[in-house]
């Protein structure tokens, strides 16, 4: 710092016209930025999952409404509440599984594209690991099941006579 003050010809009573940072300070700033970015991206991911789950629930509610007569017919010929419940839960899980597979495909392509970028000798190694794939699939199916519970219960509780007279 003293050498820089002499080179910049700064008087003793004047403030520095430069800043000196240690490696520890720079790493601290980098860590703070990394944490903030992680939290921000986590919030975006959480909001995306919430919006996706609401979308799945709405799709399943529309499906129940559109298929009310089919549900009534199935119940009239002997289908139990559990059968109807499981059918709609399976449909919600499959819907979210397909959405998760599409999302994973996009993530894989994005990771590959990021890995191809050369930043002047510095390269980002973006990888979609098997653990990430497993967790993403499980979270996707879990959200699908959670989002499908209400529509599936609504379908299972339909009175067969009322359902057959619907529409």
Which are the contacts of 149, defined by CB distance < 8 A and separation ≥ 6? 89
Number of domains in the chain: 1
User: CA dihedral defined by 107, 46, 100, 61, rounded to 10 degrees?
Assistant: -150
pTM exceeds cut of 0.85: no
Of 136, 138, 113, residue with least CA distance to 126: 113
State the 10-residue block means of pLDDT for the chain, 167 residues long.
81 83 90 94 93 96 97 96 97 95 93 85 82 93 97 96 89
- What does the block give as tokens for 52? 């996706």
Domain that holds residue 19: 1-166
């Amino acid at each position: 710092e003293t050498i820089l003050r002499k080179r910049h010809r700064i008087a003793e009573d004047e403030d520095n016209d430069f800043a000196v940072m240690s490696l520890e300070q720079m790493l601290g700033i980098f860590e703070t930025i990394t944490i903030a970015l992680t939290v921000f991206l986590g919030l975006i991911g959480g909001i995306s999952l919430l919006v996706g789950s609401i979308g799945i629930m709405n799709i399943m509610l529309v499906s129940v409404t559109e298929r009310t007569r089919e549900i009534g017919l199935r119940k009239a010929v002997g289908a139990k509440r559990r059968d109807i419940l499981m059918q709609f839960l399976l449909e919600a899980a499959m819907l979210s599984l397909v959405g998760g597979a599409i999302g994973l495909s996009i993530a894989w392509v994005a990771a590959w594209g990021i890995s191809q970028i050369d930043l002047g000798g510095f390269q980002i190694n973006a990888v979609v690991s098997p653990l990430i794939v497993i967790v993403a699939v499980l979270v996707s199916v879990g959200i699908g099941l959670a989002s499908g519970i209400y529509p599936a219960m609504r379908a299972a509780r339909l009175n067969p006579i009322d359902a057959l007279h619907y529409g």
